[in-house]
Structure formats: C-alpha cells, structure tokens
Amino acid sequence: MVDTTGVDTVVDSDLDAGWIRVGAGASLDALMRSLVPKGWFVPVSPGTRYVTVGGAIAADIHGKNHHSDGSFCSHVTSMLLATPTGTREITAASDPDLFWATAGGMGLTGIVLEATIELIPIETSFMLVDTERATDLDDCMARMTARDHEYRYSVAWIDCVARGAKLGRSVLTRAHHASRADLAEIGRSRGRSGDVDTTAFDPRVIAEVPFTPPRGLLNPLTVAAFNEMWYRKAPRLKTRDPQTIASYFHPLDALGSWNRLYGPRGFVQYQFVVPFDAEGALRSALERLSSKRVASFLAVLKRFGESDPGHLSFPSPGWTLALDIPAASPGLATLLDELDVVVTDAGGCVYLAKDSRLRPELLAAMYPRLSQWQEIRGRVDPKGTLVSDLGRRLGLVERAGPQPSAASRGRARVRRSAASGS
C-alpha cells in the first residue's frame, strides 16, 4: 500500500493563468481552502473533498459538471509518474498511451508524484442553485434532458425506495457559480445591505457520529421515512438560491464519520453508467432495487457528457446512477450480480473506484479497451511489480505468484485514496 498524503505541497502555480502544480497527496479539501478565496476552483469536485489529487487521477473522477466540463484528467495538463521502469514527466501529447492509461488506471501504471491542474475561475464561494421536484423517473429524465445544458452543475437525488407510479421520484439541484453581481442583486432584493465576505471558504464538520450504532439503523423503513421527508421538504421549484460550495457539493463532509451510520458491517458503493439510448436498463435497475427493498440511503442520478480517452476511465455519455447500500441488506450480492448483467447487456459499465464485488468475467465486456491498457501497463511495469487488491480480484493485473512475504519480494501494494463520484 502506498500512502501519498505526505507529498502534498504546492510545487508551483500561476494564478493569473489559472493552473497549479501540486504533490499528488494534496487533498481537494486543502486545494479548495487555499484557492477558493483567491478566486479559483478545482475543475472537478466529487461528492467529498477528502480525496487526493493522485486518487482523482487514478480514478479519473467526475463531478456534477461532467456534462459540461468532463472528468478530472481532462484538466490535468502534465504529471510526474513514478513507474517501475523509471520516473517520467508525461502529458497527453508527449505520451498519450501512458497518460490515458494512467487516467482511471487505478494506480496500476505507476505512482503519480506531482500533477499540474487547470483551475476554474470563480468570483465568489457561493453557488446559485435551482431546485425542482420530479414526480417519477420519466419526469426526472425529461427535465434533465431538456435543461441540463443550461447549467454547469446538475444532479438528481432519487428516492430508490419509492415504487409503482412514484418510481424514480427525485429532487433535481442544478447550479452555477454565483458572480459578485448575482449576490449583490439577491442581497438587494432581500433588502440586505452591507458587506458579506463572498469569497470565504472554511467549511467545518458540524457534527460527529460518535460511535457505531447497532446494525440496522439504516434499514428499508428508516430510509423510506427519510426519503419521504427529504422529497416533501424539497421545494417544488426554487430558483437562484445561494448556497455555499460545501453545502451544494459536499453535504456529507459536514457530518464526521458518517460511515458509522451504516453499522458494524458498513456499506457497499455501486455506480454504473448506461448509454442514453438504454434508458430501459436504468428503469430496470431502479425497479429491481425498489422491489427488493434494498434501501440505498444515497442514490444519485446524473447525465454524463463526452468521455475522455482514458482506457479504463469510467464516464461515458449516458445515465449514471450512484448508490450507497448497507452491506447487510439481505440478497444484496445476488441483486448487484443481476444489475451487472443488466448494465453489461446495455453496453454500460460499473465504476472501478467504487467496486468491491464485481464478477471478473464481466470486466472485459464493460471495458473493451482493457487489453490495450494491459499492453501499455506491461510496457512500464514488465515484471508486474505494481499490484493491488482490486487488480488481483478483477484480473486487471496478471496473476501474481506465491508471495510468502510481500515486502521481501519487493512488491509494492498500491491503494490510492478512495475517490468517489458526484
């Protein structure tokens, strides 16, 4: 296992031109804290700030702006990569094979030491959020298809427990970065005067889950009750609502150790994408989830835009559904196996950064450029030095021989910081 969080310094930056060079262990949280007050934002922000730049590259993470800005590696102009055959600076132009094999390559082409990232200019640390409710899946998809392109950021929270006519009822939240003029205008309309610091960025952990509650706190009943409340409390329509970056992008980060809520057995993340013309697969997946009463506390639907050239990069044009499911849910293993087949048959794939249980036989069908990726990896790691649990489990890497002692054989076990999506 390689922990890169010690390599987190800012190496270089040009904030007039809008780029920064950082150690790969720098977290997006640290970047935002230093950059947002200066008028810059990370190009892609997932649902948590607690991911490293190296992890963001290894998983080629996406955010609520994928339909407008693409995934993280589209904004990486250069990186310093330590491979078993040498350390080299690569760009998408200088070594496109290795660059795009590393983008989403789950850390198995080398260890990213530094990366240069293009930033997004912002005027304030606020988002202008439009919220609307959709009564069912068709309504939700129609609203997203019709108007996502008008927003930089878009995401829908879906009630995965609702069944029948309510299947897929959801709350859409779509947003732009607020300009100073936007905030001034809203302040005037609300009759407020005086200066508000509109560039501050100092999100705090509001509460901490102090201990792991007994199993079953998040069960179909409590999740159904929460979902009902969440859906009803959302405004039918509310526009230009100013929210902080943290509350729009990273609501869960405010609750320390929230993972404890899932009980001693924890939770399983599952995220897939299916092409736009395979909407039936999305519906089928939702129907299976709701009919089995598998309660996903967090279910998020999003439309992906164009993919980048990463061989194992997850996002591709289509619908993506992200789920956090209590691992103790009865019948979960079989249900997810069924969803894998639905997704594969529809020409989609699951997100490797979140995977912990995929049937390895499906990998090549989900990622048709797998063998090409393996060839490139073989070029920089001919002896198969870089291995990971994910790589072994899914057969991404060739089968390792016996390992009486990992250390004595000089094998590096690579596990990047977990990076999750929108």
375-414 positions binding other proteins, by CB under 8 A: 389, 392-393, 399-406
In angstroms, what is the minimal distance from the CB of 322 to other proteins? Answer: 16
Considering the complex, state which of residue 51 and residue 358 has its C-beta at the smaller distance from other proteins. 358
Binding status of residue 193 toward other proteins by CB under 8 A: no
Size of the site for other proteins (CB under 8 A): 22
Binding status of residue 204 toward other proteins by CB under 8 A: no
The number of beta carbons lying within 10 Å of the beta carbon of residue 403 is 12
345: closest CA among 365, 325, 323, 363? 365
Considering the complex, state which of residue 10 and residue 362 has its C-beta at the smaller distance from other proteins. 362
Considering the complex, state which of residue 170 and residue 329 has its C-beta at the smaller distance from other proteins. 329
CA distance 218 to 195: 43
CA distance 142 to 301: 13
Q: b or e along 301-337 (b: 16 or more beta carbons within 10 Å of the residue's beta carbon)?
A: bbbbbebbbbbbbbbbebbbbbbbbbbbbeebeebbe
Binding status of residue 292 toward other proteins by CB under 8 A: no
Considering the complex, state which of residue 255 and residue 332 has its C-beta at the smaller distance from other proteins. 332
Binding status of residue 282 toward other proteins by CB under 8 A: no
Identified binder of other proteins from the candidate list 255, 261, 332, 362, rule CB under 8 A: 332
272: closest CA among 341, 174, 373, 374? 341
In angstroms, what is the minimal distance from the CB of 2 to other proteins? Answer: 15
Q: Please provide the distance, in angstroms rounded to a whole number, between the alpha carbons at the two ends of the chain.
A: 26
The per-residue DSSP string of 247-304 comes to HHH-GGGGEETGGGGG-TT-EEEEEEEE-TT-HHHHHHHHHHHHHTT---SEEEEEEE
Considering the complex, state which of residue 11 and residue 365 has its C-beta at the smaller distance from other proteins. 365
Query: Which parts of 140-289 are beta strand (E)?
Result: 153-158, 170-177, 207-208, 237-244, 255-256, 267-274
Binding mask 208-247 for other proteins (x = CB under 8 A): ----------------------------------------
Binding status of residue 333 toward other proteins by CB under 8 A: yes
Identified binder of other proteins from the candidate list 96, 121, 216, 360, rule CB under 8 A: 360
Considering the complex, state which of residue 112 and residue 414 has its C-beta at the smaller distance from other proteins. 414
CA distance 320 to 349: 10
Q: What are phi and psi of 319, to 5 degrees?
A: -95, 135
Considering the complex, state which of residue 38 and residue 265 has its C-beta at the smaller distance from other proteins. 265
Considering the complex, state which of residue 88 and residue 393 has its C-beta at the smaller distance from other proteins. 393
* 140 and 103 Cβ atoms separated by less than 8 Å: no
In angstroms, what is the minimal distance from the CB of 211 to other proteins? Answer: 20
Binding status of residue 91 toward other proteins by CB under 8 A: no
- Enumerate binding residues for other proteins (CB under 8 A): 265, 268, 327-328, 332-333, 356-360, 389, 392-393, 399-406
